[in-house]
Structure 1
């Protein structure tokens, strides 16, 4: 069976950046299982999965625009430490949930602390990164009506 929209797909994968550093892998764990065609995985990889079959092995390079998007400079802001009331000690790398200007929840990370000023970044950690995937299709099956209705694998 070839992968089509509303296929349940299991893959083994290794994700690297352009320098070859491993970012994520299913090696040593369970394959990733997802529902094709509903946005469960990044668009660039999902598009490349179409028409593949169990046993297929291939490499895919996904540009930032088809992955986690380019870096958005508007999501990097500097604010006073006082904006983090209730937190005793701020450190680079700490993550917080905040609200975007359009009211949606967003995860931000502290990327710099300079005196009383704290710089946060609301971009996804892989925004702006060219993604290099090694993929092996483990299995493909038709999704159940309930999986299609819910938009994810059960």
Structure 2
């Protein structure tokens, strides 16, 4: 039976550009190691998706809505259901000096931030830059090789996955207590200085209230431990000091 809208599912996938076979995203470590995408600090595992709610590209979302657990899908995503068509109006010529101190360092292919937009340098010459503000995959047809691995049914599974979606931590560091309509989440100490932590916690709360409807109250707990006292080095007896001389 196909998934209902809002079902939380785990999907394992590799995404490629159809024309070039370039892998641009994968949840599989072995696949990542074959490309320059590999990040040894990242944990590769199936991705959490809420079906039909635009957590992934429209073309993939539509395919997942018709899928079942255990299905292996080969999904072709056309530009209109992917990153859109290329817009020539988003390719601009700008003075090179607009990049400030980095103006003489940039090269064709570099990604730059200008006027709160991200663009790719396509041409440099005569003190000017051609910057393409289209998404780099705009106009491309994409191929997703997908395994639908699991549908989350229990509240505990949902809470664990929703926390990890916003806070990338190991499974064993996800600690919470669900009692009746109250959820208490204990954050690991290494997350306390994360940028935008308050926004992240609000997002986790919103996700939990939406997908775990039994929860009406959520509390985040932060625990700090006193540093261990430094061990004192024992002084050598006077006789030993004398012998050393």
* Greater percentage in strand: 1
Looking at structure 1, the residues matched to 108 and 210 of structure 2 have their Cα atoms a distance apart, in angstroms, of 38
Establish whether residue 96 from structure 1 lines up as the match of residue 112 from structure 2: yes
Shift of 1:38: 2.1
Any idea what SS the aligned residue of 1:85 has?
A: helix
Larger CA Rg, structure 1 vs 2: 2
Establish whether residue 147 from structure 1 lines up as the match of residue 207 from structure 2: yes
TM norm structure 1: 0.82
Establish whether residue 134 from structure 1 lines up as the match of residue 149 from structure 2: no
Describe how 1:73-112 pairs up with structure 2 within 5 A.
73-87=88-102, 88-99=104-115, 105-112=116-123
Q: After the TM superposition, which of the residue ranges 120-129 and 50-59 deviates more from structure 2? A: 50-59
Looking at structure 2, the residues matched to 121 and 150 of structure 1 have their Cα atoms a distance apart, in angstroms, of 38
Establish whether residue 66 from structure 1 lines up as the match of residue 126 from structure 2: no
Which residue number in structure 1 is paired with residue 12 of structure 2? 12
TM norm structure 2: 0.54
The CA RMSD measured in Å over matched residues stands at 2.3
Which residue number in structure 1 is paired with residue 181 of structure 2? none
* Greater percentage in helix: 2
Structure 1 alignment gaps of length 5 or more: 100-104
Looking at structure 2, the residues matched to 108 and 149 of structure 1 have their Cα atoms a distance apart, in angstroms, of 37
Structure 2 alignment gaps of length 5 or more: 30-43, 160-204, 212-245
Looking at structure 1, the residues matched to 108 and 2 of structure 2 have their Cα atoms a distance apart, in angstroms, of 46
